[in-house]
Amino acid sequence: MYPLWEGDKTAGWRVDKHVTGKESVKLFEITTEKLSVDDVVARLANPAIGAVIVFVGVVRGNTEGREVRFLEYEAYPEMAEETLRQIGQEICARWKTIQEVAIVHRVGRLQVGEVSVVIALSAAHRPEVFDAVHYAIDRLKEIVPIWKKELWVNGAEWRSER
């Protein structure tokens, strides 16, 4: 996968992180497709970056002692993508070292062990990226209109940590 910008489909480097909506790659996306961590990281391609931090959410096989058969994720996709973009803007405003943010969340039926969300942040240098990625996942769980239904052997429930 290195160099990161190999195969970059954009006409030029994205030098202004605040110019959103002009990228030819989608940085904030709700998709029914299987997620690839490499694909999401590649969306950050820019020769100015020196560090990328990635959070990968994976479907866990049990909750509170119950065995999970699979999960059904549902989203309000238009608003979810807008709130993901809002989180990206909040992060860039708060941590000046963060160059770019990409967050892709999968919806539909997901099996145990499959990737549900990939959050990737790039920076010129590594300080603060850990705080920023922590903020990103907490904020996602707080405001992004995505819902998770756990289906067990003997029942099902919509789950929220709120």
Residues that bind other proteins in the complex, under the rule CB under 8 A:
57, 73-76, 78-80, 82, 105, 116-117, 137, 140-149, 158-162
Sort 114 into a burial class: Cβ within 10 Å, 0-12 / 13-18 / 19+. middle
* Nearer of residues 49 and 120 to other proteins, judged by Cβ: 120
Q: Find the shortest distance in angstroms from Cβ 161 to other proteins.
A: 7
* Nearer of residues 17 and 148 to other proteins, judged by Cβ: 148
Q: Find the shortest distance in angstroms from Cβ 107 to other proteins.
A: 9
* Nearer of residues 23 and 142 to other proteins, judged by Cβ: 142
Query: Which of 36, 20, 33 has the alpha carbon at shortest distance from 82?
Result: 20
Cα angle value 123/125/129 (rounded, 5°): 60
Residue 59: which residues within 8 A CB-CB, separation 6 or more?
Answer: 68, 70, 71, 110, 111, 112, 113, 114, 115, 116
Q: Find the shortest distance in angstroms from Cβ 12 to other proteins.
A: 31
* Nearer of residues 23 and 82 to other proteins, judged by Cβ: 82
Residue 34 has what DSSP assignment? P
